[in-house]
Amino acid sequence: MSDVFYLRSIDPPITPAGVVLTEDAGGCFDLHRVTWKQSFLSADGTRMLCWYKAPDTESARIALRQLKANLQGVFPGTVTGEDGPRALALSEANFVAELRLPDADTPSLEGIVTALGQEDVALVRGFVSIREPKAVCVVRAPSDDAVLAALARTDAQADAVWACTPITPSVR
């Protein structure tokens, strides 16, 4: 199974209660073997990152297309920060940082994780695109200024940093 991410704008804004997997969506996801792992909704309800597991990126795209989603923000990637005794729970995340990474054959978040720790910011999960030099970091931080200060010490460029609410799918 592959990790697939969907970073999108939302208009009109929604609340965390509005982030649900409807029966129609559930049917499309089941048909294409897509599992919704986690979402992170911006505090103002206008931006959201969704994490899915799917056989491949195209399976997720097909399911989302059937739901009339704009597929511009869908990308395959790898997950950092999932394993180990010091891994933070997804529910501890309170900020999302959208990053452009320097061009590299194998993009890594290693330097970013080190810089985050210098500002009392902890990586909860990092989602690194396998097709382009970008990543999305979900972090626990005292403020967006702390996230921005940490990222200023790296060669990554922050496109956006926003406060978030983690949303865990309910079991159907």
pLDDT of residue 26: 64
User: Residues 118-122: what's their mean pLDDT?
Assistant: 93
Q: Which among 132, 114, 17 has a CA at the least distance from the CA of 73? A: 132
> Of 6, 15, 7, 8, nearest to 44 (Cα)?
15
The C-alpha atoms of residue 18 and residue 76 are separated, in whole angstroms, by 25
Has residue 121 got a pLDDT over 50? yes
77 domain residue, yes or no:
yes
- What is the number of structural domains in the chain? 1
Can you give the pLDDT at residue 25? 63
In this predicted structure, the answer to whether residue 99 has a pLDDT above a threshold of 60 is yes
Give me the chain's average pLDDT, please: 90
CA distance 38 to 125: 11
Q: Is it the case that residue 94 has pLDDT exceeding 80?
A: yes
User: What is the pLDDT, as a whole number, of residue 172?
Assistant: 46
Q: Is residue 111 part of a domain?
A: yes
- Per-residue pLDDT of 18-50, as tens digits, reads 887 655 566 888 999 999 999 999 999 999 999
Q: Is residue 172 part of a domain?
A: no
- For the segment 45-76, what is each residue's pLDDT rounded down to a tens digit? 999 999 999 999 999 999 999 888 889 999 99
H or E element at residue 40: strand 35-42
Give pLDDT, residue 105.
66
Indicate the pTM of the whole model: 0.92
Query: Considering the domain boundaries, does residue 140 fall inside one?
Result: yes
pLDDT of residue 96: 98
Has residue 54 been placed in a domain? yes
- Domain, as residue range, for 64: 2-12+19-167
